[in-house]
Structure 1
Amino acid sequence: MADSWATSEGTRRSMLANKRRDTTTELAVRRLLHARGLRYRVDYAPVAELRRRADIVFTRARIAVFLDGCFWHGCPEHATHPKRNAEYWGPKLAANIERDRDTDRRLEEAGWRVLRFWEHEAPSAVADRISTALTTERRD
């Protein structure tokens, strides 16, 4: 484990096991959207030059959906602040939140609607809000 950022081998294994896509929350929401007849792109960059990927993208409606993990994106209800290796985690998590705000701003400037949800939100409620946003877009 030489030169690793992890504080222990267990931490290293745990961090490597984190999924970038197809999380339980994403799969549940996508399953509900698909059952409603909605079609979308998965893990897709709405604006290629931006090099940031949304979890679910509706290209025609120009809606980018992000399903954010509470730890990684600073959920106001569930975020935790690690005590071990805090000098690493504090700036890393703060940078994630700042990048999220920058992504929102840049996508909106490019004409996209950004929807963000927390991993702890009920998949059915998330799917309802996405469906509503799509219906609203189609009427405009």
Structure 2
Amino acid sequence: MADSWASSDQARRAMTANRSKDTGPERAVRSLLHQRGLRYRTHLRPVSSIRRTADIVFTRWRVAVFIDGCFWHGCPEHFVMPRANADYWQPKIARNRERDVNTDELLRAAGWTVLRFWEHQEPERVATAIEGAVRAARVSG
């Protein structure tokens, strides 16, 4: 266990049980978008040559949506650095944050609108923001 990122078997089980896609917040937002008549793709690379997958993608309108988990992406409101194995987690979360910024830059340079939300944000507000961005892209596109 000394070479592992997990500080214990219990920590390993808890972390491996975390979903990377189709999370509750994602499903709630997708349901609202679908009710509003918006159609989208899920868990797709907006640009096939960029190895980054967005949670919700409006391919025709070039809008990529990410719903970031507070722990994994270092939410400024809710993230608490684990005390156990901090030497692993601190650079891991920093790399995730850096990758998020890089992803946004790459997609925007390719002509995409990039929207990021935290998992704790109200799904209704998130869906409204996404709907607004998609409708704006329709008008300008």
TM-score, with normalisation over the residues of structure 2? 0.96
CA distance in 2, matches of 1:124, 1:81: 29
The 5 A counterparts of 1:20-99 are: 20-99=20-99
- The two structures, once aligned, show a CA RMSD in angstroms of 1.1
CA distance in 1, matches of 2:133, 2:12: 39
The structure in which a higher percent of residues are helix is 1
Does the aligned pair in 1 maintain the 2:5–2:85 contact within 8 Å? no
- Quote how far apart the aligned CAs of 1:4 are: 3.3
Identify if the C-alpha distance between structure 1 residues 2 and 89 changes in structure 2 by more than 3 Å, giving closer, same or farther: closer
- Quote how far apart the aligned CAs of 1:139 are: 1.4
CA distance in 1, matches of 2:2, 2:77: 36
- Quote how far apart the aligned CAs of 1:3 are: 4.8
Give the paired residue count: 140
The answer for the alignment partner of 1:12 in structure 2 is 12
Question: Over residues 34-80 of structure 1, what are the superposed CA-to-partner deviations in whole Å (9 max), with x where a residue is unaligned?
Answer: 11111100000001111110000000000000000111111111111
CA distance in 2, matches of 1:112, 1:135: 14
- Quote how far apart the aligned CAs of 1:82 are: 1.0
CA distance in 2, matches of 1:12, 1:139: 47
Amino acid at match of 2:95: A
Q: Secondary structure at the match of 2:56?
A: strand
CA distance in 2, matches of 1:24, 1:34: 15
By relative contact order (CA 8 Å, sep 6+), the higher-ranking structure is 2
Runs (5+) with no aligned partner, structure 2? none
Question: Over residues 75-111 of structure 1, what are the superposed CA-to-partner deviations in whole Å (9 max), with x where a residue is unaligned?
Answer: 1111111111000000000000000000000000011
Amino acid at match of 2:64: A
CA distance in 1, matches of 2:119, 2:104: 18
The answer for the alignment partner of 2:107 in structure 1 is 107
Q: Secondary structure at the match of 1:14?
A: helix
Structure 1 stretches of 4+ with a deviation exceeding 6 A read none
Q: Secondary structure at the match of 2:38?
A: coil
